Amino acid sequence: MPNHRATSALDLHLHLDRGDGTGLRRGLTTALRDAVRTGRLAPGTRLPSSRTLAADLGVARNTVADAYADLVAEGWLTARQGSGTRVADRPVTTPSRPVAPPRTRPRPTYDLTPGTPDLASFPRAEWLRAARRALARAPHEALGYGDPRGRPELRTALAGYLARARGVRADPERILVCAGFTHGLALLAAVLRERGVRTVAVDEYGLDVHWNVLTRAGLRTTPLPVDAHGTRTTELTPARGGPGAVLLTPAHQFPLGVPLHPDRRAAVVDWARRTGGVVLEDDYDGEFRYDRQPVGALQGLDPDRVVHLGTASKALAPGLRLAWMVLPSALAGEVVAATGGHHRCGVLDQLTLAEFLSSGAYDRHVRASRLRHRRRRDQLVAALAARAPEVRPTGIAAGLHAVLRLPPGTEETVVRAAAWQGLALHGLSPHRHPEAGPAHAADALVVGYGTPPDHAWSGALDALCRAVP
């Protein structure tokens, strides 16, 4: 019988459904069966022991053992004492020719796109305990339609947390809980339009999703240059017809990763005071600073001119759809009215997050996440220094992504090479505003290091180092 090299856990993991225990067993069984049926696992191949494969995949050993037993019973595998588990001798089914063009890119193996944390690290047990406590304590009226601003328990907990951790001057009465950052931005855009604002200044590098939200509300976006000190807010002028609002990421500019310089913070607040403009502060990556104390929120300089927007998407998970706005008193009533009197966030999740914040579980989880992401960042920097010294990582003092500077003219080629290595990542150029002036930044990649689960991180690093020059 041939003694083929045992298959790697990576190959088996590609299509593994990581749901509950039953889903994991079913997903692993399906992945193994398909690998045998299509010939990826040749007859006679010896599989890893159940202990080894379980450790590599991060699942229970019984899950692997049960999947092996199912496939032995179906005749796909054989198991003999002293010989381990092997692929049974049987005809291999050749897959039919795909309809797609012959050189379609492979399905990404590793996700290095920015903006998403490692979802496998979501604190399920702690969240479940908080949910039980919150539901047990919730009054009956909490299950009704409620306040369009969100549950008072969550708004109160957020006010305390934001004041302590981000330096935000927050009154629970002026906090509105929303279903994600874009939902909050859409509400603000509608209010600004009603107030007569026609133009919003934005960073020349950012997210087109946010620019599109403003555009759909009937607002024009005009870009401000970004350099090593952050957005050049000194270029905001009180001229008639100028922007009536500005959207910034002052804690950690996305995607370039620089904090807004103190002089420029003062400049944008001064602009808002002189013109009556509104500053929309996206607190992007505000909780994830590694090399010094966190940069305080811009809102603390002038709560009457700055709207502070935050979200649980990075610290917990985007699927929760929980975000918040701390509103100036002059805007609060209009933004609440823009909700139509309806709230879009589930009450139970709001109550659970309030309990999570109040109990200290949120702080503990953020501290653990900060340490894990700092280790990943350090491993990324070390791997590039050893294997791709021409590639310079920047914007790494905070956040869940790095900008990798590339030789001029190579960005598009490297992005294509990364796709063929099974990597999903972004180049810098798609994040550039279409009306921005002449480019001043070198070609670059925007690499998120938060998304891959722990067992896949080293493989993702290897693939990245193969793709870059």
pLDDT digits (tens, 9 = 90+) for 44-98: 888 888 888 888 777 888 888 888 888 888 888 888 877 788 888 876 555 455 5
Q: Which amino acid is at 342?
A: H
Which 8-state DSSP code applies to residue 151? -
Place of tokens 């995607």: 255
Residues whose CB falls within 8 Å of the CB of residue 60, separated by 6 or more in sequence, listed in order: 21, 24, 54
Which pLDDT belongs to residue 19?
52
Task: Based on the fold, state whether residues 369 and 411 are members of the same structural domain.
Answer: yes
Task: Based on the fold, state whether residues 319 and 347 are members of the same structural domain.
Answer: yes
Distance CA 442, CA 330 (A): 42
Residue 459 domain boundaries: 110-121+363-467
Distance CA 381, CA 389 (A): 10
Contact 423, 136 (CB under 8 A): no
Task: Based on the fold, state whether residues 394 and 269 are members of the same structural domain.
Answer: no
170: CATH: 3.40.640.10
Task: Based on the fold, state whether residues 184 and 253 are members of the same structural domain.
Answer: yes
21: CATH: 1.10.10.10
Task: Based on the fold, state whether residues 342 and 459 are members of the same structural domain.
Answer: no
Where does a domain end: 359, 384, 405? Answer: 359
Task: Based on the fold, state whether residues 134 and 273 are members of the same structural domain.
Answer: yes
Where does a domain end: 342, 359, 376? Answer: 359
Which tokens is 5 given?
């090299």
Domain assignment present for residue 197? The answer is yes
Where does a domain end: 336, 359, 382? Answer: 359
Task: Based on the fold, state whether residues 230 and 376 are members of the same structural domain.
Answer: no
pLDDT > 90: what percent of the chain?
A: 66
What would the 3-class secondary structure string for 147-198 be? CCCCCHHHHHHHHHHHHHHHCCCCCHHHEEEECCHHHHHHHHHHHHHHCCCC
Domain assignment present for residue 101? The answer is no
Domain assignment present for residue 421? The answer is yes
Residues 187-232 pLDDT 10s: 999 999 999 999 999 999 999 999 999 999 999 999 999 999 999 9
Task: Based on the fold, state whether residues 83 and 19 are members of the same structural domain.
Answer: yes
Task: Based on the fold, state whether residues 351 and 367 are members of the same structural domain.
Answer: no
Task: Based on the fold, state whether residues 335 and 215 are members of the same structural domain.
Answer: yes
Distance CA 232, CA 236 (A): 8
Query: Which pLDDT band, with edges at 50, 70 and 90, does 2 fall under?
Result: very low
Parallel/antiparallel/unpaired status of strands 175-178 and 199-203: unpaired
Does the pLDDT at position 14 exceed 50?
no
What pTM value is reported for the model?
A: 0.76
Parallel/antiparallel/unpaired status of strands 199-203 and 220-224: parallel
Mean pLDDT (whole number) for 119-148:
94
Query: Which pLDDT band, with edges at 50, 70 and 90, does 29 fall under?
Result: confident
pLDDT > 70: what percent of the chain?
A: 91
